Amino acid sequence: MELRCETARSVFLSDLHLGWRLSKPNLALEFLSQCSPRYLYLVGDTFEGLHGPLNFRSATAVRFWDALRKLSERGTEIAILTGNHDSALAGIRPEVPCRHGAFALHTTLCGERFLVTHGDIFEHMESTAHTPARQFGSWVYPRLVQLGDVLQRIRIPPGIRKRHWCTYWKLKIRRARAHIHAFERAMVELADRYGCDGVVCGHIHRPDRKRLSERWYFNCGDWVEHRSCVVETYDGRMQLIHDLTFTCSSSETP
């Protein structure tokens, strides 16, 4: 289903990693310029601060704040949540009026309450932030992204193309699958603690939508590999949108 921006009451974007050489700033900013939602949630890792210092005077940063300023002037309420790659944002006063913190609570038109958080709290809950496996994953991920970009330009098996190169390997490696499943369960349990009907998060760069333990799990994905987001339409449905620069297929709550 193609997304029409005027049908989006709320937009949730995660893991833009603006300022990183592997990010897609032009595509993300173009998408923001076409939207006029009532609510915009930037669900962490909007900027890249681990692979280099945060530079808020860069051309990309200036364009980003300008895009948010225009949305704010049109009436969009903005929430900027911090992630592990842009945690320095917590000590910086945003250049536009917005909510700012580690999490937010969102209520849909249907009355469902969602916890909105990046998800990096999971690494501290599970004490996996500095394990060798985690460090190796951080090292190998950008290299897989680069390789995937090359393979997208040549013939590769359709199944890999459809599911994306990094996601394909994440789901092939047993340890990675176990990490993803543990993350999903932890996020849903966190939503339960807050008395919410579900969670909207990011962090693991794998867009998804499912029911777990009677609650909704939505992962926004990322704008390094998937160019995906979660939206709430004006009839209160929550949708997961994939590959916004190609086709806008979606999965939604009934």
Residue 95 above 60 pLDDT? yes
Residue 116 carries which DSSP code?
E
The domain spans of the chain are 5-252
CA distance 234 to 25: 27
Q: Which residues contact 251 (CB under 8 A, 6 or more apart)?
A: 209, 239, 240
Is residue 118 within 8 A of residue 84, CB to CB? The reply is: yes
Q: Is the pLDDT of residue 137 over 60?
A: no
- Domain spanning 5-252: which superfamily? Metallo-dependent phosphatases (3.60.21.10)
Tokens (6 digits) for 236: 């209160």
**Model confidence over 190-244: pLDDT tens digits?**
999 999 999 999 999 999 999 998 999 999 999 988 889 999 999 999 999 987 7
With bands split at pLDDT 50, 70 and 90, how would you rate the model's confidence at 131? low
- Helix, strand or coil, per DSSP, at residue 111: coil
Q: How many Cβ atoms sit within 10 Å of the Cβ of residue 141?
A: 17
Percent of the chain with pLDDT over 90: 43
pLDDT on residue 163? 54
Per-residue pLDDT at 142: 53
Contact 226, 15 (CB under 8 A): no
Report helix, strand or coil for 159.
Answer: helix
Give residue-wise pLDDT tens across range 106-121: 999 999 999 999 999 9
Q: Which of 207, 197, 195 is nearest to 231 (CA)?
A: 207
Three-class SS of residue 169?
A: helix
Q: What average pLDDT does the segment 166-172 reach? A: 69
